Amino acid sequence: PPVIRREDYRAPDWLVPEVELAFDLDPARTIVRARLSVTRNGEHDRPLRLDGEELELLALRVDGEAREARFEDGRLVVDLPGSSAVIETDVAIAPEKNSQLMGLYASGGILCTQCEAEGFRRITYFADRPDVLSRYRVRLEADKARFPVLLANGNPIEQGDAADGRHFALWEDPFPKPCYLFALVAGDLQCNRDSFTTMSGREVELGIWVREADLSKTALAMQALKDSFAWDERTYGREYDLDRFNIVAVSDFNFGAMENKGLNIFNTRYVLADPETATDGDIDAVAAVVAHEYFHNWSGNRVTCRDWFQLSLKEGLTVFRDQGFSEDMGSAAVQRIDQVRTLRAAQFPEDAGPLAHPIRPDSYLEIANFYTATVYNKGAEVIRMMRTILGPEAYRKGTDLYFERHDGQAVTCEDFVRAMEDASGVDLKQFRLWYSQAGTPTVQARLEQDGEGTTLHLAQQVPPTPGQSDKQPMVIPLRVALIGAESGREVAAEQLVLLTEGEQTVDLGTVGEPAFLSINRGFSAPVLVDAVRKPGEIEALAAGDSDSFARFEAGQELMTRDMLAAIRNGGAVEVEAIVAAVGATLRSQSLDPAFKADAIALPGESLLIEKLDAADPARVHEVREEVRRAIGTRLGEDLQRAYTAASAADPTSLSGADKGLRRLRAATLALIAAGDAKLGASLGQQQYEAARTMTERQSALMVLAMLGTDASGKALDDFFTRFEDDPLVIDKWFAVQASVPDESNLHVVEALQQHPAFTLANPNRLRALAGSFAGTPSAFHRADGKGYDWLAEVIVAADKLNPQTAARFVAPLGRWRKIEPGRAARMRAALQRILAEPGLSKDVFELASKSLG
Ligand code: B3K
Ligand code: ZN
């Protein structure tokens, strides 16, 4: 397949200012009639070229005259003499045969669309690129009994009955948009209705459309939606612009959700939630995704991307915006820890592996493969760094200027950075390297104290990544403070240090006592910090750094240090420091429970593997378990006291305090079970049986499943029967069992694959099984390689149905560089087997071939 390169960008030859679409909807055969008014863009004599995929062309007319179709490289080519024309096409498509879930497809009796990035070409012939913006008028016609609700972008204009028990609706979207934001929905749906009055006093009708049975699970999403409207007005001065805002939930969806103009389509997973069926984490995720998609109305829709290489323009910015929303709605400190956890778990390995790419990639085979943690989460970190460097006020001036200057346009990352510069007067020339250089920088830090004063020595290295061997020093904003070794107080107040050179020294003045270095506070830069530590320094920071993120971080550094030492030297783990730190955290009277839960959790096995060369995953597991056991036995009483205290959480409350207690309860139960399996099993069983919320029930079930006793089998059966009719909960049933960290768990996974409730066709179900299994290193990395073989087979089978989702499971096999030679060879063999498969999609081909590298 051809490589698409950023440097090859050319403005479109033809623009399409107006589009009229008429859909004769039928799951088996839908007819789409399109009327495009096209105008020549600039002086040239090139024909109009329209993308199309799996379309049956029934008719083509140019200015009303029938025309013979001509195709070149799969595109429909239309020669046009003048500067404008009207192109009409009639095509047929088969939504119910669409298993890729791109374009128009059927999900549980609902017809819906997904067009980003290149799905619109599966609906009709079109210039399927984000820099062609059109005004849409859309007529939907369908059987009235089967599809009583007909929705599209914008505002409803007209509706009525048609012949043969059919009916129609006409929608018009006044805002020009790229076709990736087109959407329609037809189905038997019920609506949770509400309204929001915007800051200029306009009344917006809000609707969340779901199957009737799910209506009771939409209240939390509706609240999040109204909070999002208000937050974006307050924080970014952004007001909503249409009379309607609709959200529709569907069960089959490749991603989390989609920001189609005025008609967001969501994976049910990010809409439906109540405390009995969704955990606190799920509920927070619903709010974050609702906010994210809503915020796209400005960062994505009003101002969109010129080409797909600019994806981080809208995604990095919108993730940063939804993070700000979550920080303001809950505890900012806990949110920040979660954000960094996600970045470390998903983005750092990507940046360190064969699929590393800059947040603005230079080339791709399949754009669907670039909806990555790098583009999204590192992209958000890059926006955050700009805000840190400019300060909040100048940053806000910058976003105001950006939205005003580019409203209605399709622009580039460069345009965003320029708006930031113009609004602030700050030169971001060197900072732009964050857009072009891949790889996670390492910052080395050493504090030097003598009679004269305190000097911080910094150095940075940006590692080579595929296609980028030589790197230049980046601008790295580091929030730094010094903590007195004796007083425990900040002896040098926090300041922002901009590391811009390969090596740099910073004078931190004189402090009256020996000091410890608190660096990259709040995770001000997405880097790895390698600091020279004094004896006792990291322990002291873990016990008392005044920045809560840095305090968490010091604890993680301490745990990582001692576990890595044991993994490397093959001996027993030196657990004293870890046990002391966890004990102090558990006993603290001042720390909040959510923070405690984060602070006592050990870094995951994947994170440890990333830090090793030629890791033996079995050894990593063994060491980590040894530490968990030591904490469980040595701190049994502290854990039980904390567990009992946390059990006081009000199950009906979703306050931060109660959520924090539940989080601590889950974390302590897991450690209790690690120290005393019998006690863990009995507490787990009690908690399971008495559970009033999914948060309590799921954490108990996970502990029981890990212990693998008779009680766990009973609980799993009960869980299945209890929630049989709720697919999102059945996903959890699969995920819990596929996450058991045991070398023999592949058997369980294979049995689950044969379970009648399993299907490769539903992305949530597939992620629950294959994603959970591949995300559990000690089970996935069986020494005999059978875990890899299983995943490879699943990828090949899923690829035949849904390439985009199948490709998401390739990355775990690409981590072979970090694994010991025996397993690494088996991982490579699995990748080779995938590549040998005839008829592989370009999605899977691109990732598997790059992973072999
Ligand atoms: N913009 C969508 C992306 C879906 C595309 C998947 N290939 C979701 C989001 O980031 O809001
Ligand atoms: Zn997004």
User: pLDDT for 742-794, tens place per residue?
Assistant: 999 999 999 999 999 999 999 999 999 999 999 999 999 999 999 999 999 99
Minimum CA distance residue for ligand 1 atom 5? 116
List the 65-66 sheet strands across, edge first.
65-66, 56-62, 84-93, 30-40, 14-24, 134-143, 166-177, 155-161
pLDDT of residue 421: 99
Domain limits, the chain: 4-188, 304-436, 442-532, 724-853
User: pLDDT for 562-619, tens place per residue?
Assistant: 999 999 999 999 999 999 999 999 999 999 999 999 999 999 999 999 999 999 999 9
Dig out the tokens for 125 from the structure. Answer: 């012939």
Task: Give 304-436's CATH code, choosing from 1.10.390.10, 3.30.2290.10, 3.40.50.1110, 3.30.565.10.
Answer: 1.10.390.10
Q: How many CB atoms lie within 10 A of CB 591?
A: 17
Task: Give 724-853's CATH code, choosing from 3.40.50.970, 2.120.10.30, 1.25.50.10, 3.40.50.1820.
Answer: 1.25.50.10
Residues 6+ apart with CB under 8 A from 501: 460, 473
Q: Using alpha carbons only, how large is the chain's radius of gyration in Å?
A: 28
Cα–ligand 1 centroid distance for 519 (angstroms): 34
Q: What is the 3-state secondary structure (H, E, C) of 632-696?
A: HHHCHHHHHHHHHHHCCCCCCCCCHHHHHHHHHHHHHHHHHHHHCHHHHHHHHHHHHHHCCCHHH
Minimum CA distance residue for ligand 1 atom 2? 258
pLDDT < 70 regions, the chain: none
Ligand 1: residue of 179, 258, 318, 802 to mutate (most ligand atoms within 8 A of CB) is 258
CA neighbours closer than 13 Å in the CB half-sphere of residue 12: 23
pTM score, whole prediction: 0.99
The structure tokens 């023999």 sit at 744
User: pLDDT for 212-257, tens place per residue?
Assistant: 999 999 999 999 999 999 999 999 999 999 999 999 999 999 999 9
pLDDT exceeding 70 applies to what percent of the chain? Answer: 100
pLDDT of residue 220: 98
DSSP 560-613: HHHHHHHHHH-S----HHHHHHHHHHHH-SSS-HHHHHHHTSPPPHHHHHHTSS
pLDDT of residue 762: 98
Dig out the tokens for 170 from the structure. Answer: 């006409």
Residue 36's nearest CA partner among 91, 114, 89 is 89
Residues with CB under 6 A from ligand 1: 116-117, 254-255, 257-259, 292-293, 296, 315, 368, 371
Q: CA-CA distance, 774 to 558, in Å (whole number)?
A: 27
Domains 304-436 and 442-532 share a fold: no
Whether 5 and 367 have beta carbons less than 8 Å apart is answered as no
pLDDT of residue 451: 81
Catalytic residues: 293
pLDDT of residue 452: 81
Cα–ligand 1 centroid distance for 39 (angstroms): 29
Q: CA-CA distance, 175 to 133, in Å (whole number)?
A: 9
Cα–ligand 1 centroid distance for 747 (angstroms): 34
Whether 179 and 233 have beta carbons less than 8 Å apart is answered as no
What class is the 442-532 domain?
Answer: mainly beta
Minimum CA distance residue for ligand 1 atom 8? 258
Query: Nearest-5° angle of CA 445, CA 448, CA 449?
Result: 145
Cα–ligand 1 centroid distance for 805 (angstroms): 13
Residue 296's nearest CA partner among 329, 257, 336 is 257
Minimum CA distance residue for ligand 1 atom 1? 258
pLDDT of residue 597: 98
Give the three-state DSSP class for 309: helix
Dig out the tokens for 35 from the structure. Answer: 């009327």
Give the three-state DSSP class for 42: coil
Cα–ligand 1 centroid distance for 497 (angstroms): 35
The CATH number of the structural domain formed by 4-188 is: 2.60.40.1730
Cα–ligand 2 centroid distance for 526 (angstroms): 20
Longest dimension (CA), the chain: 93
